[in-house]
Amino acid sequence: MTGLSVAWTTLTGTWALPAALMGLVWGIIGGALPGISASITIALLLPFTFGLDPTIAIIMLASAYVGAEYGGSIPAILIRTPGTNSAAATAIDGYEMHKQGRSGEALGLSLVAGTIGGLIGIFMLILLAEPLADIALAFTPPAYFSLGLLGLSVIATLSEGSMIKGFITGTLGLMIASVGPDPVSGVTRFTYDSPELLGGIRPIVVMIGIFAVAELLSQAGQPPWDRSSAQTRIKLPSLRTLWSLKRSLLLGSGIGVFEGVTPGAGGTVAAFLSYNEAKRWSANPELFGKGSPEAIVAPEAANNTVAGTALVPTMSFGIPGSNSTAILLGGMLLHGLQPGPMLFEKHPDFVYGVFSGLVMANLLQFPVGIIILTPCIWLVNRPKPWLMSYILALVLTGVYAVDHSLFDVALCIFFGVLGYLMRLFGYPFLPMVLGVILGRLVESQYRRALAISGGEHAIFVTDPISLGLLIACALLVSYSLYTTYLRPARDAAEARPESPSTN
Amino acid sequence: MTERTHTRRDLVSGIVMLGVAGLYWIEAGKLEISFLDDEVTVRGFPNLLAYALGLFAIALIVQSVIVLVRHRPPAGESLADPETRRRHGMAIGLLAFAVGYVLLAPIIGYVLAATLLIAAAVWWQGARLHWTIIPAALAGAIVLWAVFVRLLGIQLPPGLWF
Amino acid sequence: MTISRRRALSTLALVPAGLAMPGIVRAQNAPAAGVPRYPVPHVTLITHSSPGGGGDVMGREMIKHLPQIMGVTMAVENVSGAAGARAMTRIATGPTDGSVVYITTPTHVNTAIMSRPPHGLEHLQALVNIFFDPQYLMVRNESPHKTAAEMIAAARANPGRQRWGATLPSALERQLVEQVKRAASINVTAVTHDGGGDMLINVLNGSLECGIGELQEVLGQIEARRLRLIGVFAPQRVPATPDVPTMREQGVNIVAEKFRGLATARNFSPAAIAAWEAAIPKLVEVPAFKDWITKSALVNAFMKHEEAKAFEARFVASQREFFREMGITTRG
């Protein structure tokens, strides 16, 4: 296979290795800083690549993408702040483990899961780029709508405690997503003439607010935590542990492959779906939300897999599936490469060079992660008043950097207050995150589908992919309804003879 | 399936959510329907959301009223409880510093505003008041500034004076 | 979720010194000796697109050659966000000595019309115009329609049945659909998207009969013969695509004026204006830059300051008119 020899030449003869390393480190740092999303990390690196050989430049940018998708999990676990959108699902159990003093274990799990997921994604990209590309093309607007709906249906299971409240915060999330230009007519909604709101509210601003700022506000009144037993080093999972987590790993990667190749869905949805599925298929679903290793492995494997497979539509069609790959695409154009079906035929040296660089970046991620994580753990074990204050400054700085906007900082603080109140009133916030992320996708694809069908709703069931996804969605919701309402009632009925119902 | 201590709060928040739904619905009704619009229109999705939120809010209100009437649960922690008040007070204080940062940053510049934010937050959260707080906070602000401005090339609020 | 090329952030394009990899990053903007010096020694080109976006790429191509022509150093700075509003503020409140210039597209005009940015068109003026970005009508390869004329005839025979793709609702492509509908008296359904890539999928998988977009985004598909261009909204055929007939040739007299030019604050130094008027015609003759123009399928449309101002005034008026007619905004 000539591809292998091209890959070998690229790796040994050029700047590929240092470029991959540099891109990776840059990506991890950018991804780990709150507010600096994967796409921003890549955009920041882009100007540095001018003047580089195109293959080296793209290796560097793609390695930064790999690093950023992983790096986002570090603050998600250590300070409950998803560094990137797709790390939001990791923040749930990751931060729980951190609070239990199991930071090193959580970070080790996310590093290993991320590396494995990343490698699976790259190998899928290398082996199956063409058949996977056809999946992307088969996705019509009704299918995208149903995919979005499937993502939203996770709300039903993510709203621990109260499904009604979960639906309420999910709806609030969708309302937040409705700010900005209408997807069909372009009329601006709920912007009240503010240019700051013209482009809508960025999900990362909402997430940092309801995760991080809310956490800081409620921590302010809590007594200093006891960290005497806390791990101070990263603790890698043993092979036996990994084997026991194989189901979550595979679920995450499987969903990641699928979400990566369908443009527009992306790592965040993949992470949430995987979290949900891992919980459903877990032997210990009750541990989810309380620091379950599976709950870290599944979403991290998923979003790192997406980093690889998202390159399928980007490279084979020139269609970016996310903001990050859009910038990668811009990078390719800047370096005179035209992504599209011909790329593989016209520039095999470039394609295989990039593949080998990506494999390298994923392998490097492991040692680099181990080196970076220990000081990170040390940092978050500083005295509480200091730690919280620096985190507050870091978070507010990161949010400003998203768009150079103090308005965004104020918005983030507002969402922090909202998150604080949600916690006080017992509202789950994950449904809100899903609503914010999926609102625009669901609405615009719904209306696009109807425009295409001439107003006929039948299009959602005549499109086979859409139909399949809708059925999956219905099954998911009814399963959740069953486990939330019917099963406890039945159990209670069975238990009644011994002890009277308490609820 | 709410916990009992939350029932009264559920009632309150349900009523608030009903209000939010109504307000959102009124605002959605003011959106202009353009000639480029489709049959769903610019109002379609927001209206749907308003109805959905209204429905869920009513469901929550009904649920909590039923629980309140049937089980008469004891009141949860109330605001009169000094410990609760202290915790909310701490949060409000921190919030005030964050808001102060947003207001001050464009005037005194990032480094100074961040220094003040860190120092105030450290003091507020119970660190011993000592002159070292200021240089330590300044160091933190400078590190952040260096990472964002120097390493990443992202400008931070410059301020009028600096 | 958006697949648009609108990106997240502003960044200084200048490489912070400490991070440049030795020997790999070359400075490309040193002025040559013996050329006239611009009123100021350093010029920053502001773009609201992020690195890799349209305006950014254009700026970076320009600063490869302009420093030698104008005798200055140059840099591109991305001031993205708020759909150009932030960049407008930067220009309007910046120095007028010639050191800050804005790379424009219709985006900021639409933003100024559709919302109330702190600094709008009344604070800016067109400096010169440089290009038009031609818009193409495209179909997938399996489509039975070989020309735009056939496409339109089919649309006339089946009113309301054809679906034409366009990008963002506020983009020029969307307006072109309306203009074609009016000019050819046909009724087709316009389907908007979140970006060019989004639309491309739906053209390729047959959800749409055709789409309107730019060449750069679909070049790969054209080379692979998955997509065909059946018409261009330009006054003449575009050098990059000599085989694609204009819409005018096919009986629909519509020309897209998606301009790419420069703008400045009001009270911009007259000496600087004159220098730009002299420099741009030289720039578009530089062979390497010419290659880039052809490759990017841009059309030379140089206009001096006064002409560009008049053009912009006409463009703004027609946009206002369109937005008001379509009920998108009642203002202006």
Instruction: Say which of B32, B150, B151 has its CB closest to residue C327.
Output: B32
Among residues A395, A239, A141, which one has the least CA distance to residue B94? A395
Q: Which region among A11-20, A452-461, B124-133, C295-304 has the lowest average model confidence (pLDDT)?
A: A11-20
Give C7→chain A minimum CA distance, Å. 7
pLDDT of res. A101 = 84
Mean pLDDT, residues C103-132 taken together: 81
Among residues C97, C169, B109, which one has the least CA distance to residue A444? C169
Q: Which region among A101-115, A221-235, C121-135 has the lowest average model confidence (pLDDT)?
A: A221-235
Q: How confident is the model at residue C8 (pLDDT cuts 50, 70, 90)?
A: very low
pLDDT of res. C29 = 47
Give A44→chain C minimum CA distance, Å. 7
Instruction: Say which of A171, A189, A393 has its CB closest to residue B56.
Output: A171
Residues A36/A42/A43/A49 CA torsion (nearest 10 deg) = 140
Test the C interface: residue of A206, A311, A322, A327 with most C CBs within 10 Å: A327
Q: What is the pLDDT of residues B20-58, one digit of tens each?
A: 999 999 999 988 777 777 888 889 999 999 999 999 999
Whether residues C326 and B154 touch (CB distance < 8 A) is answered with: no
Q: In chain B, which residues have their Cβ closer than 8 Å to the Cβ of A443? A: 45
Q: Which tokens in the block code for residue C160?
A: 């309301």
Beta pairing class for C73-78 and C42-47:
parallel
Q: Is the pLDDT of residue B97 over 90?
A: yes
Count CB-CB contacts under 10 A for residue B25: 17
Instruction: Say which of A52, A266, A321 has its CB closest to residue C24.
Output: A52
Interface partners of A (3+ CB pairs, < 8 Å)? B, C
d(CA B47, CA B32): 13
Whether residues A44 and C200 touch (CB distance < 8 A) is answered with: no
Mean pLDDT, residues A92-102 taken together: 87
Q: Is the pLDDT of residue A410 over 90?
A: yes
Give A131→chain C minimum CA distance, Å. 15
- CB A124, CB A396: distance < 8 Å: no
Q: How confident is the model at residue C35 (pLDDT cuts 50, 70, 90)?
A: low
**pLDDT, averaged across chain A:** 83
pLDDT of res. A500 = 43
Whether chain C has a CB inside 8 Å of the CB on B131: the answer is: no
- CB A316, CB C220: distance < 8 Å: no
Q: In chain C, which residues have their Cβ closer than 8 Å to the Cβ of A50? A: 25, 60
Q: How confident is the model at residue C321 (pLDDT cuts 50, 70, 90)?
A: confident
The 3-class SS string of A360-395 reads: HHHHHHHHHHHHHHHHHHHHHCCCHHHHHHHHHHHH
- For residue C281, with 0-12 CB atoms within 10 Å meaning exposed, 13-18 middle and 19 or more buried, which class applies? middle
d(CA A354, CA A342): 16
The residues facing C192 across adjacent strands are C166
Q: Which tokens in the block code for residue A489?
A: 């009632």
The SS3 call for residue C255 is: coil
Q: Which tokens in the block code for residue C318?
A: 């027609």
d(CA A134, CA A129): 9
Walk me through the domains of chain C, giving residue ranges and CATH numbers. Answer: 11-133+258-325 (3.40.190.150), 136-232 (3.40.190.10)
A281: Cβ–Cβ under 8 A, 6 or more apart, which residues?
Answer: A247, A251
Instruction: Say which of C11, C14, C327 has its CB closest to residue B154.
Output: C11
Give residues 113 to 152 of C whose Cβ lies within 8 Å of A: 114-118
Q: Which tokens in the block code for residue A299?
A: 């979403």
d(CA A364, CA C48): 35
The residues facing C45 across adjacent strands are C76, C101
Instruction: Please report, for residues A161, A438, C135, C149, C153, the alpha-carbon distance to residue C230 in angstroms, rounded to integers and kept in the order given.
Output: 58, 35, 11, 9, 13
- Total number of domains constituting chain A: 1
- CB A184, CB B38: distance < 8 Å: yes
The SS3 call for residue C265 is: strand
Q: Is the pLDDT of residue C6 over 70?
A: no
Q: What is the pLDDT of residues A321-377, one digit of tens each?
A: 677 787 787 778 777 777 777 777 777 778 888 888 888 888 998 899 888 888 888
Instruction: Please report, for residues A126, B124, C25, the alpha-carbon distance to residue A12 in angstroms, rounded to integers and kept in the order given.
Output: 19, 55, 21
Give residues 23 to 62 of A whose Cβ lies within 8 Å of C: 37, 39-40, 43-44, 46-48, 50-52
The residues facing C136 across adjacent strands are C213, C232
Count CB-CB contacts under 10 A for residue A503: 11
Q: Is the pLDDT of residue C27 over 80?
A: no
pLDDT of res. A414 = 96
- CB B20, CB A435: distance < 8 Å: no
Q: Is the pLDDT of residue B115 over 80?
A: yes
Q: How confident is the model at residue A265 (pLDDT cuts 50, 70, 90)?
A: low
Q: Which region among A235-249, C5-19, C236-250 has the lowest average model confidence (pLDDT)?
A: C5-19
A180: Cβ–Cβ under 8 A, 6 or more apart, which residues?
Answer: A188, A189, A190, A191, A197, A198, A199, A200, A201, A440
The residue type found at A78 is L
Interface partners of B (3+ CB pairs, < 8 Å)? A, C
Within-domain flag for A497: no
Whether chain B has a CB inside 8 Å of the CB on C160: the answer is: no
What residue of A is the nearest CA neighbor of B42? A182
The alpha-carbon radius of gyration of chain B (Å, integer) is: 24
Instruction: Please report, for residues C96, C283, C305, C314, the alpha-carbon distance to residue C41 in angstroms, rounded to integers and kept in the order given.
Output: 14, 18, 22, 34
Whether chain B has a CB inside 8 Å of the CB on C16: the answer is: yes
d(CA B94, CA A221): 10
Give the helix ranges, DSSP H, for chain C: 54-70, 85-92, 106-114, 148-157, 172-183, 196-204, 215-223, 270-283, 287-295, 305-325
Q: Is the pLDDT of residue A119 over 70?
A: yes
Give residues 319 to 338 of A whose Cβ lies within 8 Å of C: 319-323, 326-327, 329-331, 333-334, 338
The residue type found at A478 is S
Instruction: Say which of B59, B127, B141 has its CB closest to residue A164.
Output: B59
Count CB-CB contacts under 10 A for residue A427: 26
Alpha carbon of residue A369 to chain centroid = 18
Q: Which tokens in the block code for residue C46?
A: 């502001």
Q: Is the pLDDT of residue A2 over 70?
A: no
- CB A338, CB A54: distance < 8 Å: no
Beta pairing class for C73-78 and C11-12:
antiparallel
Where are chain B's structural domains? Answer: 4-71, 82-151
Whether residues B94 and A216 touch (CB distance < 8 A) is answered with: yes
Percent of residues, chain A, with pLDDT higher than 90: 17
Instruction: Write down the residue that tokens 């593989």 correspond to.
Output: A344
pLDDT of res. B27 = 93
d(CA A17, CA A5): 16
Percent of residues, chain A, with pLDDT higher than 70: 91
Mean pLDDT, residues A485-492 taken together: 72
Q: What is the pLDDT of residues C248-293, one digit of tens each?
A: 999 888 888 888 999 988 888 888 888 888 888 888 888 888 888 8
Give the helix ranges, DSSP H, for A246-292: 246-261, 266-280
Positive or negative torsion for Cα A151, A153, A158, A164 = positive
pLDDT of res. B25 = 95
Question: Does A434 or A333 have the greater pLDDT score?
Answer: A434
pLDDT of res. C244 = 93
Q: How confident is the model at residue B150 (pLDDT cuts 50, 70, 90)?
A: confident
pLDDT of res. A176 = 95
Within-domain flag for A502: no
Q: Which region among A4-13, A494-503, B120-129, C12-21 has the lowest average model confidence (pLDDT)?
A: C12-21
Beta pairing class for C42-47 and C299-303:
unpaired
DSSP A60-82: HHHHHHHHHHHHTHHHHHHHS--
Whether chain C has a CB inside 8 Å of the CB on B161: the answer is: no
Alpha carbon of residue A503 to chain centroid = 37
Q: First vs last Cα of chain A: how many Å apart?
A: 66
Mean pLDDT, residues C159-185 taken together: 86
Test the C interface: residue of B32, B33, B35, B36 with most C CBs within 10 Å: B36
Whether residues C12 and B33 touch (CB distance < 8 A) is answered with: no
Q: In chain B, which residues have their Cβ closer than 8 Å to the Cβ of A178? A: 45-46, 49
Whether residues C12 and B155 touch (CB distance < 8 A) is answered with: yes
Q: Is the pLDDT of residue B118 over 70?
A: yes
Q: Which domain holds residue A384?
A: 2-484
pLDDT of res. A466 = 92
Q: Which tokens in the block code for residue C171?
A: 């983009």
- CB A195, CB A63: distance < 8 Å: no
d(CA A159, CA A164): 8
Q: What is the pLDDT of residues A53-64, one digit of tens each?
A: 888 888 888 899
Q: What is the pLDDT of residues A186-236, one digit of tens each?
A: 777 898 877 778 778 888 888 888 888 998 898 888 777 666 556 677 788
Mean pLDDT, residues C181-207 taken together: 86
Phi/psi at C299 (5° precision): -115, 130
Q: First vs last Cα of chain B: how many Å apart?
A: 55
Whether residues C12 and B153 touch (CB distance < 8 A) is answered with: yes
Q: What is the pLDDT of residues C130-164, one digit of tens each?
A: 888 889 999 999 999 999 999 999 999 988 889 99
pLDDT of res. B93 = 93
Count CB-CB contacts under 10 A for residue A502: 8
pLDDT of res. C82 = 65
Instruction: Write down the residue that tokens 């680099």 correspond to.
Output: A368
Q: Which region among A71-80, A407-416, C27-36 has the lowest average model confidence (pLDDT)?
A: C27-36
pLDDT of res. C31 = 47
DSSP state of A15: S
Among residues A315, A264, A256, which one has the least CA distance to residue A118? A256
Which of A287-296, A403-412, C90-99, C136-145 has the largest mean confidence? C136-145
d(CA A195, CA A407): 10
Q: Which tokens in the block code for residue A82?
A: 């998803």
Within-domain flag for A326: yes
Instruction: Say which of B35, B152, B155 has its CB closest to residue C327.
Output: B35
Whether residues B32 and A187 touch (CB distance < 8 A) is answered with: yes
Q: Which tokens in the block code for residue B31?
A: 């959106």
Instruction: Say which of A36, A178, A383 has its CB closest to residue B49.
Output: A178
Give C16→chain B minimum CA distance, Å. 7
ipTM: 0.93
Count CB-CB contacts under 10 A for residue C47: 27
Within-domain flag for A496: no
Whether chain A has a CB inside 8 Å of the CB on C83: the answer is: yes
pLDDT of res. A227 = 60
Whether chain C has a CB inside 8 Å of the CB on A3: the answer is: no
pLDDT of res. B104 = 92
Within-domain flag for A495: no
Whether chain B has a CB inside 8 Å of the CB on C278: the answer is: no
Q: Which tokens in the block code for residue C63?
A: 């600063």
pLDDT of res. A113 = 92
